[in-house]
């Protein structure tokens, strides 16, 4: 695919980013577009490898290897190389409902499994995907395409994150009447309120939602199923129900001082900041229903972020833009190595050290990565008025217990007091909230997720399906799209006795 010798002739080049010193003063996306001729050169690096692991979409060592939605990556790389952009778009949309989202926020497990990446920098798959979909919108190739025939079946999709939207899009293509319920004031779920604007501009989310609405999907906001709308009513008013409510119970840190003011879950911080941006841009608050987080400001404060991953990075980037005084990000695990280790071979996801956008911004301003590794929190400190004033931390080391499992152990004498007026807990999520599963009598698995077999997505209640993080636990946007598409396929089969959905 592409140019047979392209991976030898051309070096990897990614789109430029706006300088950190500039971008921290606004909330605009920080990636810059890349010229078409350069993109075609990058597409030429896609080698005719014979077995393209980039689109295998499997789990190896518990992590995604290749694209979970099986994007036809070599095919559209070849089409871009040859300048056939419209055909590349058609190829991309066969497997991906929302390339404009994955092209911005996906960590690109496809690149981690790229064959070129065995001994050279991988093909820039993510940036090519982004360019294809944006060119499609710019050229007017993408527009409303409602189904020609309606089945008369009505389906409720609860949750408007990537899993819910992908499911709704597929069910609508099959001709069903789809209603999407969202408890927040705006559609998008994680895409809307979990990912900051500088990574995913909310106009991009609105562009896609408007397109889906023009194709016949009904969106209902400020409705919380199980509270403002009885869950049982869904079974009475719809022929089938798909639950895509996410894994929204954040992991807590119940140590001394947890009750103090100024300690917040990352989701509260990020959601409230995006809501404030909406208020500023679109003329004030709307009716927020039951999903309200008060604005939390990092301005002038020493900020401690506990936890890594994308959410921790988003807390760093958001705090910088709010004008914090300092940031320290604590991680209990060791610092990753600079290169792949023997126990992390291709095509596994490369577990190597890298600076994400938030840490890159902090390093540009302060000359160092804000992350500190092998550190854990012992207690939060009170300023005497019920407000957090700092945190006591201790260094840890990882040792094997009597069963051969690695466990953390405190390093004696390594305690440290750190000032902090804002502490953000970004330690992941435990599973879905209880309301809907309890109301509908849904079975749960050992991790409290709603129980349903992957590939079938059917719960123990006939006509009720589940997809995304609510079924599999906290995961990637691209896995959510995979699950939403799969749940739509099985829901269509349930309604019609057969299905033509992929």
CATH classification at residue 133: 1.10.1060.10
Residue pair 164/180 in contact (Cβ under 8 Å)? The answer is yes
Query: Among 374, 393, 427, where does a domain finish?
Result: 427
* pLDDT score at 292: 65
**144 domain residue, yes or no:** no
148 occurs within a structural domain: no
- With tokens 């998008």, the residue in question is 188
CATH of the domain at 332: 3.50.50.60
Q: Cα–Cα distance between 456 and 487 in angstroms, integer? A: 7
Instruction: Please indicate, yes or no, whether residues 306 and 420 belong to a single structural domain of this protein.
Output: yes
Q: Which helix (H) or strand (E) holds 214?
A: helix 202-214
Give burial (CB, 10 Å; 0-12/13-18/19+) of 401: exposed
Tell the residue number behind the tokens 């050229």, with chain if given: 139
**473: domain range?**
154-249+430-496
Q: Does one domain contain both 100 and 111?
A: yes
Tell me the longest C-alpha to C-alpha distance in the chain. 71
Structure tokens at 70: 């099986």
Look at strands 371-373 and 326-331 and give their pairing.
parallel
Q: How do beta strands 375-382 and 177-181 pair?
A: unpaired
Contacts of 365 (CB under 8 A, 6+ apart): 20, 21, 24, 320
Question: Could you tell me if residue 371 is inside a domain?
Answer: yes
Q: Which residue positions in the chain have pLDDT lower than 50?
A: 283-290
Residues 331 and 240 in one domain: no
Are 242 and 261 contained in the same domain? no
C-alpha–C-alpha distance, residues 397 and 411, integer Å? 7
Helix segments in 114-201, DSSP class H: 125-138, 162-173
Q: Are residues 281 and 303 in the same domain?
A: yes
Q: Is residue 423 part of a domain?
A: yes
Same domain? For 123 and 207 the reply is no
122 assigned to some structural domain: yes
Do 364 and 266 share a domain, yes or no? Answer: yes
Give the integer Cα–Cα distance in Å for 337 and 314.
22
Distance, CA of 136 to CA of 85 (rounded, Å) = 8
Q: Say what the pLDDT of residue 287 is.
A: 42
- Reduced to 3 states, what is the DSSP secondary structure of residue 58? strand
Residues 85 and 13 in one domain: yes
Listing from the earlier edge strand, what are the strands of the sheet with 218-220? 218-220, 177-181, 154-158, 240-243, 464-466
Is 106 inside a domain boundary? Answer: yes
The domain boundary residue, chosen from 86, 111, 138: 138
How many Cα atoms sit within 13 Å of 6 on the Cβ side? 26
- The answer to whether residue 35 is domain-embedded is yes
> Is the bond leading into 347 cis (omega within 30 degrees of zero)?
yes
Let me know whether 128 and 159 are in one domain.
no
Counted domains in the chain: 3
* 8-12 contact pairs (CB < 8 A, 24+): 9/44, 10/41, 10/42, 10/44, 10/45, 11/121, 12/42, 12/45, 12/120, 12/121, 12/122, 12/123, 12/124
Indicate if 413 and 273 belong to the same structural domain: yes
Of 427, 454, 478, which residue constitutes the final position of a domain? 427
Q: How far apart are CA 118 and CA 346, in angstroms?
A: 6
Q: Can you give the pLDDT at residue 1?
A: 63
218 beta partners: 179
Same domain for 307 and 395, yes or no, is: yes
Quick check: is 149 in a domain?
no
126 and 39 share a domain? Answer: yes
């Amino acid at each position: 695919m592409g140019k047979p010798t392209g991976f030898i002739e051309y070096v990897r080049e990614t789109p430029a980013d706006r300088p950190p010193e500039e971008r921290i003063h606004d909330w605009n996306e920080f990636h810059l577009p890349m010229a078409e001729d350069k993109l075609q050169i990058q597409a030429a690096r896609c080698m005719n490898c014979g077995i393209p692991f980039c689109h295998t979409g499997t789990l190896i060592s518990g992590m995604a290897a290749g694209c979970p939605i099986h994007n036809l990556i070599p095919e559209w790389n070849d089409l871009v190389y040859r300048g056939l952009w419209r055909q590349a778009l058609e190829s991309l949309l066969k497997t991906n409902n929302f390339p404009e989202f994955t092209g911005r926020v996906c960590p690109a497990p496809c690149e981690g499994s790229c064959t070129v990446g065995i001994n050279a920098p991988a093909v820039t798959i993510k940036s090519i995907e982004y360019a294809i979909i944006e060119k499609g919108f710019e050229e007017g190739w993408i527009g409303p395409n409602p189904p020609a025939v309606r089945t008369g079946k009505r389906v409720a999709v609860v949750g408007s994150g990537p899993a819910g939207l992908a499911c709704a899009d597929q069910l609508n293509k099959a001709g069903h009447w789809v209603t999407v319920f969202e408890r927040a004031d705006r559609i998008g779920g994680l895409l809307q309120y979990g990912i900051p604007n500088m990574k995913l501009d909310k106009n991009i989310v609105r562009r896609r939602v408007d397109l889906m609405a023009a194709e016949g999907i009904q969106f209902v906001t400020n409705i919380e199923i199980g509270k403002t709308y009885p869950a049982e009513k869904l079974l009475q008013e719809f022929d089938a129900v798909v639950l895509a409510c996410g894994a929204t119970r954040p992991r807590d840190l119940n140590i001394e001082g947890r009750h103090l003011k100024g300690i917040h879950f990352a989701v509260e911080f990020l959601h409230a900041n995006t809501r404030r941006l909406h208020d500023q841009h679109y003329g004030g608050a709307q009716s927020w229903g039951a999903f309200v987080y008060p604005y939390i400001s990092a301005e002038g404060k020493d900020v401690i972020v506990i936890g890594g991953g994308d959410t921790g990075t988003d807390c760093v980037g958001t705090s910088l833009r709010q004008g914090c005084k300092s940031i320290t990000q604590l991680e209990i695990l060791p610092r990753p190595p600079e290169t792949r280790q023997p126990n992390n071979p291709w095509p596994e996801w490369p577990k190597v050290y890298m600076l994400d956008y938030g840490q890159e911004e902090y390093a540009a301003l302060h000359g160092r990565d804000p992350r500190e590794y092998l550190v854990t929190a012992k207690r939060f400190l009170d300023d005497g008025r019920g407000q957090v004033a700092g945190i006591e931390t201790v260094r840890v080391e990882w040792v094997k217990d009597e069963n051969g499992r690695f466990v953390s152990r405190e390093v004696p004498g390594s305690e440290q007091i750190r000032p902090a007026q804002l502490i953000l807990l970004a330690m992941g999520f435990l599973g879905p909230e209880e309301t809907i599963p309890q109301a509908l009598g849904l079975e749960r698995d050992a991790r409290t997720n709603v129980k349903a077999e992957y590939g079938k997505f059917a719960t123990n209640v006939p006509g009720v399906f589940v997809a995304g993080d609510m079924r599999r636990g906290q995961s990637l946007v691209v896995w959510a799209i995979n699950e939403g598409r799969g749940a739509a396929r099985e829901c269509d089969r349930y309604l019609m006795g057969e299905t033509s959905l992929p």
